[in-house]
């Protein structure tokens, strides 16, 4: 869902001869960076020792 604007601008540039601006590239990179941060594995808590 988050990649829809990225694919829409790429497809518009291919099929409709729209020009890609710097803001398209910057927005796409920010979306990809956000997705990478959201989907990467986080730290797991150390198991608690029971005494």
Q: Could you tell me the residue ranges of all domains in the chain?
A: 4-38
Q: What is the pLDDT of residue 48?
A: 78
Q: What band does 49 get if pLDDT is binned at 50, 70 and 90? A: confident
Q: Give the pLDDT band of residue 51 (cuts 50, 70, 90).
A: low
Rounded Cα–Cα distance for residues 51 and 39 (Å): 35
| Residues 14-39 pLDDT 10s | 999 999 999 999 999 999 999 999 99
Flag whether pLDDT at 44 surpasses 80: no
Stretch among 2-6, 18-22, 44-48 having the lowest mean pLDDT = 44-48
CA distance 9 to 3: 10
Alpha carbons 9 and 18: distance in angstroms, whole number? 8
């Amino acid at each position: 869902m988050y990649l829809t604007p990225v694919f829409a601008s790429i497809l518009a540039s291919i099929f409709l001869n729209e020009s890609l601006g710097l803001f398209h590239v910057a927005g796409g990179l920010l979306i990809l960076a956000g997705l990478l941060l959201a989907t990467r594995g986080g730290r797991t808590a150390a198991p608690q020792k029971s005494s």
